[in-house]
A and B are shown apart, each in its own frame.
Chain A
Amino acid sequence: MNYTSFFKAEWLSLLRRKQDTLNALLFFVMVITLFPLGVDPSSEFLAPAAGGIIWCATALSVLMAVEGLFKEDFNDGSLEQWLASGLSVSVLVLLKVLAQWLMVMVPLLLALPVLAQMLFLPWSSLLTVMGSLLLGTPALFLIGAIGAALTVSLRRGAVLMLLLILPLYIPVIIFATGAIRAAQLQMSVSGQLAILAAMSIVALALAPVMTAISIKASVN
């Protein structure tokens, strides 16, 4: 096993499971639909709230996609093979998260303009929404991977994983929605976006290590 063959196999596995990607996207659409139905369908409510709604739906979809990230690898013994391979488990984790991120976020970003219209999000702030998603979601995936590794041996780990990870998502959501709100008020958004990028970079440095520690502890 080497890093290239690992990434290829991961990517191939994801391609073979197109339905999982589609499910994450459908879940995203469902959560977004709940807001007009459950709160208020008028554009006076939806337009200013759109950024927050999109980000809450994203955070939940990411958690759903990441929750089972290592479950199959745990059950079929792949995690043991990662550890026995002598390769850096942190790098393997990073590659796996990268593949998953591409698989979930690309379709989501493609669907976003349509959904944004349904929420009456002004065109002018759509770019900021996309930018905040591009810069902020890596942190969500990487932090989520820690939770996925910690709950990998549990048969019903999803709720526990939500409890562990959602509080850690708060800063990302705050700055992302802050950026969108600033864009709607025609203010500068570079500060908030820079903070989002910084959070993703910190997560990039620390989360794979923490995930690797948890993976190693899970196979004993």
Chain B
Amino acid sequence: MNWTWFHKLGSPKWFYQWASKWAGKLVWIGLLLLLIGVVWGLAFAPADYQQGNSFRIIYIHVPVAMLAQSCYLAMGIAGFVALVWQMKLAPVFIKSVAVVGAVMAFIALLSGAIWGKPTWGTWWVWDARLTSVLVLFLLYMGVIAIQNALDDQVFADKAVAVVSLVGVINLPIIKYSVEWWNTLHQPATFRLTEKPSMPMEMWLPLLFSALGLYLFSAGIAMWRMQTEVLKRERKANWVKQEVMSDGI
């Protein structure tokens, strides 16, 4: 089998040039979609018949929570790639995405708490989903912490790959166990899952803001990866040329 495409993807230089073309576009398109989705959702979509206007926070909360999980999944896959194929770019990806994911998990917790106050009358309940997002946030912080603690680049790259992979294997187990624990503890008083099926005019802005946030974050992550690639390949000739041509 021909693996050249795979090695090409792993080449920092090729990635840098590819990302230069796309990162900016992704960020702006994503931002536009996100803006449309959020403004539409907050100002024009009809109010929920049960929760009133407070439900509108889903236009932020749901995309953010989705992204927080997707980021970790992507990091786990990158960890696997880093360990098996030793691809140079995989640890760069993990390092860049970890921060984005951690921020998303944090916003998800925060917006969840803000939503919880008017809806459930309390900032926090030990709901299965809330607990697993909290654990997810801690897993992100673990990746970031070990990345910062280890000075040796080679060891740090291996370490984040191991932590991401171990985390992604554990994530479903944690989720399952927390759900099981939750049903044991309390009957389903406050379940986020029992939403009335949404009408189109509520659902469409959600789609816009979710798609927008994904694209926006992908662009931001690519920017972060570009910076990291420049830093790591600082000795390479193409980096020197790149920096010179920017007039620095």
Contact = CB atoms under 8 A, between A and B. Distances in A.
B154 A160 contact: no
Contacts of A150: 146, 159, 162-163
A193 B148 CA distance: 38
A213 B162 contact: yes
B165 A163 contact: no
A33 interface: no
A157 B149 contact: yes
Contacts, number: 77
Given A150-B159, A206-B169, A214-B162, A160 B149 contact: yes
B152 A220 contact: yes
Interface stretch (B38-46, B52-60, B133-141): B133-141
A167 B83 CA distance: 22
B177 A174 contact: yes
B165 A210 contact: yes
Interface string B179-205: 011001000000000000000000000
Contacts of B77: none
Contacts of B243: none
A153 B155 contact: yes
Contacts of A157: 149
A165 to B, nearest CB: 8
Interface residues of A, number: 28
A217 B159 contact: yes
A218 B169 contact: no
Contacts of B166: 143, 146, 168, 206, 210
Nearest to B159: A150
Contact of B155 (A163, A174, A178, A217): A217
Interface residues of B, number: 30
Interface in A89-129: none
Contact of B178 (A170, A210, A217): A170
B9 interface: no
Contacts of A181: 184
Contacts of B145: 160, 163-164
A214 B158 contact: yes
Contacts of A206: 166, 169
A206 B170 CA distance: 11
A157 B173 CA distance: 26
Contacts of A174: 177-178, 180-181
Given A146-B166, A150-B159, A171 B177 contact: yes
A53 to B, nearest CB: 17
Interface centre among B83, B152, B163, B169 (most CB of A within 10 A): B163
A171 B173 contact: yes
A218 B159 CA distance: 9
B158 A167 contact: no
Question: Which A-B residue pairs are the 7 nearest by beta carbons?
Answer: A217-B158, A171-B177, A164-B142, A174-B181, A174-B177, A167-B138, A217-B155
Given A164-B142, A220-B152, 5 more contacts: A150-B159, A153-B155, A163-B138, A168-B166, A210-B166
30 contacts: A143-B166, A146-B162, A146-B166, A150-B162, A151-B146, A154-B149, A157-B149, A160-B146, A160-B149, A163-B145, A164-B163, A167-B135, A167-B138, A167-B170, A168-B167, A168-B170, A170-B135, A170-B178, A171-B176, A174-B177, A174-B181, A178-B181, A178-B184, A210-B162, A214-B162, A217-B155, A217-B159, A218-B155, A220-B154, A220-B155
